[in-house]
Amino acid sequence: MFDMLKKMSHRGPDSHGVYLDGQTQRSENIKELTDFVKQKSHIAIGHSRLKIVGQENTTQPYLSCDGKLSLVHNGEIYNYRELATLLYRNHLIKTTSDSEVIVHLLEEAYRGDLLEAVQKIVGLLDGMYALAVTDGRSIVVARDPVGKKPIYYLKNGPVTYFASEKKALWNGSDEPCRLFPGELLHLDQAGCRVEPGYKLEMPQIDIVDFRQAVETYKEVLAKAVRKRLSGLTESNLGVIFSGGIDSVLIAHLLQREGKNIVCYCTGTSESADIQAAEAVAADLGFQLKTSLIDEAKVEALLPEVIQNVEESGLLQVEVAIPMYLAAKLAAEDGIRVMFTGQAADEIFAGYPWYTDVLKEHGYLRLHEKLWEDLNLLYTDTLEREDKLTMAHSIELRAPYLDRDVIITAMRTSPRLKLEGIADRQRKRVHRQAAAELGVPPYLAFRAKDPAQSGSGIHQIIQNLAHRRVGKIANDVVQRNIDRDKGSLYRYGDEDYGKQYARFYLQEIEDKIKKRFIPPFLESGDSPVISAA
């Protein structure tokens, strides 16, 4: 377990805590826990803390007042103060942390069945979370319904491991399983089972008037931003910034709340994002810091980025590099919380292909497609962005993924988002709201540019790929790679530059995984063990 926590210590460098069969030990130095975690145990959970909300020098796991429950939590619960008012019995809440409230809510609901208790309270939690709780006999792991915080698990014989990152579970053969958003993982003597937790239900469309849509959206979005500022003591906040409407609106709302913000943008010196970001920052008075990239820098960064994003998909890596560098720059400035404009396109039909959906299938299918894409954000976006920022000990907050914002957007008729197939603006409600909230119209209605092309990274990856075609082709021939076992041919792509680039990135990932094979699969390990 020590090995697992060590490989994820960047997620919480401030302090560490471990629960072993009713015993708990905490330390600011993870090495001081080495002897403790070597003890044989039946159930173990561990946590590394990134101190954001709750400034006391306390470390998880948190314990219920009666000592029956122990909990670790990764994420933020934005309505924790309101939830504290639901506590009926006398609870001794020792900290101002949002996480501690969860264990006391569970204590209220617990009647001997841990799974039932967790199922009762997860729907009350407004925020992002991956949490694990034990009553000494079993463990229940929960993931938030949007999937902002990742959690993976791996079964190895009688032992089940789980962790916030795959690298803590890589063992050289088995691929860790993902706990999907809104699901629970129940571990006890009977084994390992996935159970239903809390999932968002698609609401009925009942906003069909444009003015009502804009006014309602402005209200819930402003509240979502304020909600994510509650309890923060950070003096400076970062914004992942492209100069596009989504990040500009978030930066503007933060500034309107009186917060000191620093915007971060990455790209080539000629990239659309850099040029737009500099112009916008100068116009609106935002402090902007940029990180310029070139082919040599990208080539050197590829192993580091792939190691942190834990996969080598071509598009994933292209998108990951700019965010990784922006987060790295922010970390150098001491930033611990960053905001992102992620998900506005999914809830308000911002991408060009939504016009194709409308043209081919109509508004009903467009509405369904938006909901599907929103529910798939975890797999190709949210997990990636969490890992890239947490690699630098930074928590990422996404107001557009607020529960009330999502519900409001999906109550809104798609006809108000995309006004026919000739609509090149898209996101009509979102753009109008931005303009009325104070974003200059020329920014509110700027055309969408995908992150990977806006930063210039797409062309850089393609250039690197073409330079490597010959060498990789020779390697493929020499190794006589079987098509069925996974090689260039599995992609079925006519663009050979993309094929070779993907193969090259996969080679890097394979080498990283070999380095990360852990020594935690020891014969003395317990039947249920975790590191969250």
Q: Give 180-221 pLDDT, tens digit per residue.
A: 999 999 999 889 999 999 999 999 999 999 999 999 999 999
Q: Which residue has the higher pLDDT, 403 or 500?
A: 403
The two three-digit tokens of residue 408, written as one number: 């409001």
CATH 3.40.50.620 range(s) for the chain read 210-454
Model confidence at 514, pLDDT cuts 50, 70, 90, reads confident
DSSP category for residue 485: G
pLDDT at 89: 72
- What confidence score (pLDDT) does residue 390 get? 96
By C-alpha distance, which of 24, 59, 69 is closest to 44?
A: 24
pLDDT band, residue 396 (cuts 50/70/90) = very high
pLDDT tens digit sequence for 443-483: 898 766 554 456 677 778 777 777 765 555 545 434 443 43
Least confident range from 106-110, 265-269, 327-331, 450-454: namely 450-454
Alpha-carbon distances, residue 188 vs 136, 289, 528 (angstroms): 10, 49, 8
Binding site members for L-glutamine: 98
Write down the CATH superfamily of domain 2-199.
Answer: Aminohydrolase, N-terminal nucleophile (Ntn) domain (3.60.20.10)
Q: In the chain, which segments carry CATH 3.60.20.10? A: 2-199
| Residue whose pair of structure tokens reads 């917060």 in the numeric block | 259
Where is the binding site, in residues?
A: 98
**For residues 150 and 386, is the Cβ–Cβ distance under 8 A?**
yes
Fold of 210-454: Rossmann fold (3.40.50)
| Beta strand 260-267 pairing with 236-240 | parallel
Predicted pLDDT at 471: 57
- Tell me the C-alpha to C-alpha distance, in Å, between residue 206 and each of 99, 117, 169: 35, 34, 45
Cβ-in-10-Å burial (0-12, 13-18, 19+) of 371 comes to middle
**Cα four-point dihedral sign 250, 251, 253, 259:** positive
Between 484 and 495, the more confident residue is 495
Average pLDDT for residues 513-528, to the nearest whole number? Answer: 55
pLDDT attached to residue 482: 40
The reported pTM is: 0.89
Contact by Cβ (8 Å): 213, 375: no
Cis amide prior to 61 (ω within 30 degrees):
yes
> Residue 390 in contact with residue 310, Cβ under 8 Å?
no
Tell me: pLDDT of 487 over 60.
Answer: no
Residue 256: is its pLDDT beyond 90?
Answer: yes
Strands, E, within 65-114: which ranges?
Answer: 70-77
Of 123-127, 152-156, 473-477, where does the model show the most confidence?
Answer: 123-127
